[in-house]
């Protein structure tokens, strides 16, 4: 009677070895794949980063710092910070409201709202900038009315802010929607049972549970706002010292063969990208740990 058991165990052992052999590559293949990945990163990530900082410091630190003392550079930095400073908080409020509605409730038009949130991902930024020109430009639908009331949107700061808001508004919502969906309703229902009001429920239960996803979305939104080129280029008019953001200023300097100044300003955006990458990795790790702790707590509650 032991023979069938031994035969089954042998089959299981053979199947395990076959599965391992079929799903595990040899050491040579693994090292070859790793070398390809490292070569790709060196050519398309590390080398461009090194070129940016090397070109920015090519004529010394004094020339590098002097690039930021130019009035046009300071104006571009201020306008970039202004656009991001307005777009990010507005998109934060929209993202939280949209994600809460989508993640917590079922309603008519939910799929349409999700599709509209994803719209900037599928529409070219240049097209979105052109839409604002057709709406608010001098020859646009609202242009004559705006001109009569001395309101300028296109080729001015308001147009740049609008374009920045459009291309960045999905980021916070898209990060929070799956977090709200995974959160469930148990804690909110318990808080309501204990007499919590709507705002207490939101600030003391809902937001603390999604804080890492919220910060992650804000960081991505801010990075995209400060680095946006296409939509802003269409609505800015490229007026030096007035409507040029940092990416547009870099383009003008480079076209005028002012390479040190162009790469000096570009190094600021590069540093922003590196800081964003580090913060992104940290928040992903914290979010994963928080999610695992939440699952463990729920499992312990169900066991008890």
pLDDT in tens, 214-255: 888 898 899 999 999 999 999 998 888 899 999 999 999 999
What is the arithmetic mean of pLDDT over 51-55?
91
- pLDDT at residue 77 is higher than 60: yes
Ordered DSSP codes for the chain: -HHHHHHHHHHHHHHHHHHHHHH---HHHHHHHHHHHHHHHIIIIIHHHHHHHHHHTTT-HHHHHHTTSSHHHHHHHHHHHHHHHHHHHHHHHHHHHHHHHHHH---TTHHHHHHHHTHHHHS-HHHHHHHHHHHHSTTSSSHHHHHHTT---TTSHHHHHHHHHHHHTHHHHHHHHHHHHHH-SHHHHHHHHTT--HHHHIIIIIHHHTHHHHHHHHHHHHHHHHH--HHHHHHH---TTTT--HHHHHHHHHHTT-HHHHHHHHHHHHHHHHHHHHHHHHHHHHHHHHHHHHHHHHHHHHH-
Q: Look at residue 14 in the predicted model and tell me its pLDDT.
A: 47
Most trustworthy range by pLDDT among 76-90, 101-115, 190-204: 76-90
pLDDT interval class at 19 (50, 70, 90)? very low
- pLDDT at residue 17 is higher than 60: no
pLDDT interval class at 285 (50, 70, 90)? confident
Q: Look at residue 249 in the predicted model and tell me its pLDDT.
A: 94
pLDDT digits (tens, 9 = 90+) for 34-45: 999 999 988 888
pLDDT digits (tens, 9 = 90+) for 134-164: 999 888 899 899 999 999 999 999 999 999 9
């Amino acid at each position: 009677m032991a023979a069938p058991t031994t035969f089954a165990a042998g089959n299981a052992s053979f199947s395990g070895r076959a599965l391992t052999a079929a799903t595990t590559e040899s050491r040579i293949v693994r090292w070859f794949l790793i070398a390809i990945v490292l070569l790709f990163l060196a050519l398309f990530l590390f080398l461009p980063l090194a070129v940016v900082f090397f070109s920015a410091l090519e004529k010394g630190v004094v020339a590098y710092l002097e690039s930021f003392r130019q009035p046009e550079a300071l104006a571009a930095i201020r306008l970039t910070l202004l656009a991001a400073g307005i777009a990010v908080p507005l998109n934060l409020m929209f993202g939280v409201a949209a994600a809460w509605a989508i993640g917590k409730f079922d309603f008519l038009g939910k799929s349409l709202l999700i599709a509209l949130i994803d719209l900037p991902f599928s529409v070219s930024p240049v097209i979105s900038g052109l839409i604002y020109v057709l709406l608010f430009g001098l020859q646009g639908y609202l242009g004559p009315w705006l001109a009569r009331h001395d309101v300028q949107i296109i080729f001015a700061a308001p147009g740049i802010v609008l374009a920045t808001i459009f291309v960045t508004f999905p980021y916070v919502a898209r990060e929070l929607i799956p977090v709200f969906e995974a959160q469930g309703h148990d804690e909110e229902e318990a808080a309501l049972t204990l007499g919590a009001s709507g705002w207490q429920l939101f600030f003391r239960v809902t937001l603390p549970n999604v804080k890492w996803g919220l910060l992650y979305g804000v960081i991505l939104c801010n990075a995209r706002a400060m680095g946006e080129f296409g939509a802003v280029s269409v609505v800015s008019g490229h007026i030096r010292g007035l409507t040029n953001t940092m990416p547009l200023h870099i383009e003008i300097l480079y076209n005028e063969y002012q390479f040190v100044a162009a790469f000096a300003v570009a190094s600021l955006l590069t540093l922003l990208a590196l800081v964003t990458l580090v913060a992104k990795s940290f928040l992903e790790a914290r979010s994963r740990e928080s999610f695992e702790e939440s699952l463990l707590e729920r499992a312990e509650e169900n066991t008890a």
